Amino acid sequence: MANSLTRFWGQGSLQKHVVQTGLRGFSSQQNPEVEEEEEFRVLSLRTVKQQFQKRREVKKDPVTPPRSNRMAVDQDWTAAWPGPRSFHPASVPLPLRQGFTERGAAAPSKFANAELMKIPNFLHLTPPAIRQQCEALKKFCTPWPKGLETEAKWQRHFPVEVITTDYLQALPTIRNPEARRVTVSLKLSDLKFDAHARDKFLRLVGDRYDKDTDILTFVTDRCPLRKQNYDYALYLLTACYHESFVTEPWEATKSEADMEVYLFGRNKSKLSAEEILNWNAAEGAPKVEPSPSYGQSVEQLINEGENEYNLTKYKEEVKKMLNIASQ
Amino acid sequence: MNFLNKLVPQVALEVQQLSKSAIHTSAVCCRVQSGRYRITTKRDRPLTYEMANPPHFIGHRKSWNSWNTSTLKDSLRPSQTAIEDLFIRKFVTGTWHALVSSEIIIKRQHNTIRIAALIRQAISPRKMYFLIGYTEELLSSWMQCPVTLELQTVADKKDVVFKYI
Amino acid sequence: MLQALKTLPWTQSVRALASVATSATTAPNASSATIPAPEPDKLYSKLEIELRGVDPAVLKSYTWFATTAADHLGIEKGKCWSPRKAHHDRMTLLKSVHIYKKHRVQYEVRTHFRYMNFHKLTGSTLDTFLEYIERNLPEGVAMEASKTELQQIPEHLRQPPEEV
């Protein structure tokens, strides 16, 4: 009754008078019955204390025991842990411990151990799992062809080497600008040249040719895609090769002052040697040419400089050419 | 930070204004203090294993919380990855409110992000499943890549406590 | 796996290529007009893999996995090695916010390297093997795979050009 009274009091101030009286009459009709049943209750106007409600018991689902307890000893582990996953103690039936502790204390166990969750695990790559997966992959592999076992053998048939690089990183994008780089290399001796073309080719490629190893290398990275760079490298090779066989008209105007090396064939010393050899020769008789070994020794002497070996060789050749008997 | 722009346009506006003024307002984390905890007089401050080891033990006694390739030599987008990691951490701790009882471990493998954490068993499994799906879905739509949550639950907060100081 | 499936048709072509290599004089066997001639498989003399990571133990485990897989697939292994020291990326800052220049702190990021070499792979083997080990790359490890492909000299470079 006290409750109902206080409630009506509160409402009365807000509601209209007519409604209020009507409600009062209604409540007065009801009250006698209540009083008969219940004992007298004190009217407390001020307290709004609700009756004590029993807090609802939070129903907790029973936590299932770890799965590792129910695992058979001879289970198929590759089925229990098929892919990469953070460590979970309930799935791994190993008594693992991880963590640094002071001397004498046991390391933290595998349950609620964040350290074990951090480190990348290889539980899905156990030796049986690797063997199993490799067996499945084996049918996609092909053997290395016979007859190409050593480098010397494959060099004969496949002289060109193309080096490309793939990059793999943990990023949302698979593009890496470095992957566009293509290196094409081959031995210069695998291309066929004549003397003029070889000289011109080496001038065209510049420092892409390594003199010591006789290897020509093109590194291209100016196009955005790898395919384009590969095509560009082959284009460079082709263009240089074909251009080297072209003799421009101005190339004939190369004078003796422009020569990098001394060539016996186009110099005064050849004429002098011929003159000496053809001394007093009859008219119409075949001209005697100086021997090529003599020419070589002269070239060596002038190109490499005077040293004991070159001088001795030159001396021998001169003696041979002039038919001077050695002492 | 496009996802932030979509998320809270007002905040983005403020950020823009701030960046115009070019004043750096982040708190200074001094090396001699950050990641270290003081001993209380009652010796009742609970520390997890992660908290018990100061930062200079990373790589020796404890390992990293973020596993990605962006910090390595000659790698791409280190800053974006760091900011995304920060956002993921804030989002997960806020979504799993008062439930995360360890550091959040973010592993990036290929284009996927795997998030591992220790969660208290304070809510029903149904709610937990809902939260897992909710977190994965929202994060993957923001990061534009698959996100997987790999959680481990603990019965009580005290399970993760390593020592009291 | 898709990649591996894609390379499946090439498997027949390797034998044709092998016969060409052994007896270079014989022409490659002409296939019937309806079926397009099988694309010859590529040949790779070397696959060099560089791994970078923060944790050397993870790199070591991964190297073990990759070499074991190569053993199972019958791939010839080359040298596998790692430099003794990691690369340190250091940043030196003032310890204090404002002054005290004599007191500094150093932060560093270490990058550990590890290298693996594999020799003599055909194109389908390389695609299969590389995809398998790439898919199992653990988190926090970056990989660079350099492939050395062997090619013949292009047709137009075998003989000197006729017209000049």
- CATH number of residue B49's parent domain: 3.30.300.20
State whether B90 and B23 are in the same domain: no
Q: Which of B62, B57, C112 is nearest to A116 (CA)?
A: B62
pLDDT at position B19 = 46
Confidence label for C14 from pLDDT (cuts 50, 70 and 90): very low
Q: What is the mean pLDDT of residues C68-90?
A: 91
Q: How many CB atoms lie within 10 A of CB A250?
A: 7
Closest alpha carbon within chain B to C88: B73
Q: What ipTM, to 2 d.p.?
A: 0.77
Q: What is the mean pLDDT of residues A267-289?
A: 78
pLDDT at position B142 = 93
The domain boundary, picked from A236, A252, A268, lies at A252
Which of A91, A109, A168, A169 should we substitute to test contact with B (largest number of B Cβ atoms within 10 Å)?
A169
Q: What is the mean pLDDT of residues C53-58?
A: 92
State whether B55 and B6 are in the same domain: no
pLDDT for residue B134 is more than 90: yes
The whole-angstrom distance between B123's CA and the closest CA on chain C is 31
Contact between chains at B28 and C95 (C-beta distance less than 8 A): no
Q: Has residue A7 been placed in a domain? A: no
pLDDT for residue B81 is more than 60: yes
Q: What is the mean pLDDT of residues C114-135?
A: 92
State whether B69 and B132 are in the same domain: yes
Where in the sequence is the domain holding B20, given as residue range(s)? Answer: 1-31
pLDDT at position C102 = 85
Give how many domains chain A has, as a whole number. 3
Most confident listed range (A57-61, A177-181, A259-263): A177-181
Contact between chains at A161 and C158 (C-beta distance less than 8 A): no
Query: Which sequence spans correspond to the domains of chain C?
Result: 43-84+112-150
pLDDT at position A258 = 78
How distant, in Å, are the alpha carbons of A314, A315, A324 from that of A309?
Answer: 9, 10, 20
Closest alpha carbon within chain A to C160: A192
pLDDT for residue A9 is more than 80: no
State whether B27 and B92 are in the same domain: no
Give how many domains chain B has, as a whole number. 2
pLDDT at position A29 = 47
- The helix/strand/coil state of B150 is strand
pLDDT for residue C70 is more than 90: yes
Confidence label for C22 from pLDDT (cuts 50, 70 and 90): very low
The domain boundary, picked from A141, A165, A180, lies at A141
For every residue of B108-139, which 3-state class applies, written as one string?
EECCEEEEEEEEECCCCHHHHHHHHHHHHHHH
Percentage of chain B lying above the pLDDT 70 cut: 81
**What pTM, to 2 d.p., does this model score?**
0.74
A→B interface, C-beta within 8 Å: 61, 63, 84-86, 88-89, 99-100, 108, 111-115, 117-120, 168-174, 176
Tell me: the pLDDT tens digits for A57-112? 777 777 888 888 888 888 899 988 988 999 999 999 989 998 898 888 888 888 88
State whether A260 and A245 are in the same domain: no
Contact between chains at C14 and A138 (C-beta distance less than 8 A): no
Confidence label for C13 from pLDDT (cuts 50, 70 and 90): very low
pLDDT at position B22 = 59
Q: What is the mean pLDDT of residues A205-234?
A: 92
Return the minimum-mean-pLDDT range out of A20-24, C75-79, C102-106. A20-24
Tell me: the pLDDT tens digits for A144-165? 988 888 888 888 889 999 999 9
Confidence label for B24 from pLDDT (cuts 50, 70 and 90): low
Interacting residues of A265 by C-beta distance below 8 A, sequence separation 6+: A295
pLDDT at position B28 = 52
Confidence label for A183 from pLDDT (cuts 50, 70 and 90): very high
Confidence label for C10 from pLDDT (cuts 50, 70 and 90): very low
State whether B51 and B123 are in the same domain: yes
State whether B116 and B41 are in the same domain: yes
- The helix/strand/coil state of C27 is coil
B95 contacts chain A (CB < 8 A): no
State whether B23 and B63 are in the same domain: no
Contact between chains at A164 and C41 (C-beta distance less than 8 A): no
Q: Has residue A296 been placed in a domain? A: yes
Query: When comparing pLDDT for A259 and B113, which is higher?
Result: B113
pLDDT for residue A15 is more than 70: no
Contact yes or no for B87/B66 (Cβ under 8 A) = no
Closest alpha carbon within chain C to B111: C139
Where in the sequence is the domain holding A195, given as residue range(s)? Answer: 151-252
pLDDT for residue C20 is more than 80: no
For every residue of chain A, which 3-state class applies, written as one string?
CHHHHHHHHHHHCCCCHHHHHHHHHHHHHHHHHHHHHCCCCCCCCCCCCCCCCCCCCCCCCCCCCCHHHHCCCCCCHHHHCCCCCCCCCCCCCCCCECCCCCCCCCCCECCCCHHHHHCCCCCCCCHHHHHHHHHHHHHHCCCCCCCCCCHHHHHHHCCEEEEEEEEECCCCCCCCHHHHCEEEEEEHHHCCCCHHHHHHHHHHHHHHEECCCCEEEEEECCCCCHHHHHHHHHHHHHHHHHHHCCCCHHHHHCCHHHCCCCCHHHCHHHHHHHHHHCCCCCCCCCCCCCCHHHHHHHHHHHHHCCCHHHHHHHHHHHHHHHCCCCC
Q: What is the mean pLDDT of residues B3-21?
A: 48
Return the minimum-mean-pLDDT range out of A23-32, B18-27, C117-126. A23-32
Query: When comparing pLDDT for B68 and A324, which is higher?
Result: B68
Chain C residues with CB under 8 Å of B61 CB are: none
Tell me: the pLDDT tens digits for B27-74? 555 556 778 888 999 999 999 999 999 888 988 899 999 999 988 888
State whether A247 and A260 are in the same domain: no
State whether B13 and B89 are in the same domain: no
Q: Has residue A46 been placed in a domain? A: no
Which of C95, C103, C139 should we substitute to test contact with B (largest number of B Cβ atoms within 10 Å)?
C139
State whether B86 and B6 are in the same domain: no
Q: What is the mean pLDDT of residues A229-243?
A: 92
The domain boundary, picked from A252, A281, A306, lies at A252
State whether A261 and A314 are in the same domain: yes
Tell me: the pLDDT tens digits for A38-62? 788 877 777 666 656 677 777 777 7
Most confident listed range (A302-306, C2-6, C133-137): C133-137
| Average pLDDT over chain A, rounded to an integer | 82
Interacting residues of A191 by C-beta distance below 8 A, sequence separation 6+: A201, A241, C153, C157
pLDDT for residue C144 is more than 90: yes
Return the minimum-mean-pLDDT range out of A226-240, B105-119, C27-41, C54-68. C27-41
Subunits in contact with chain C (3 or more CB pairs closer than 8 Å):
A, B
Q: Has residue A248 been placed in a domain? A: yes
Q: Which CATH number fits the domain C43-84+112-150, given the four candidates 3.40.50.720, 3.30.70.600, 3.40.1160.10, 3.20.20.70?
A: 3.30.70.600
pLDDT for residue B106 is more than 50: yes
Strands A182-187 and A215-220 come out as: antiparallel
**Cα–Cα distance for residue pair C41/C16, rounded to 1 Å:** 9
State whether B122 and B107 are in the same domain: yes
Most confident listed range (A24-28, A257-261, C21-25): A257-261
Contact between chains at C69 and A134 (C-beta distance less than 8 A): yes
Chain A residues with CB under 8 Å of B145 CB are: 172
State whether B69 and B89 are in the same domain: yes
pLDDT at position A303 = 85
Percentage of chain A lying above the pLDDT 90 cut: 24
State whether B13 and B42 are in the same domain: no
Chain A residues with CB under 8 Å of C24 CB are: 157
pLDDT at position A319 = 86
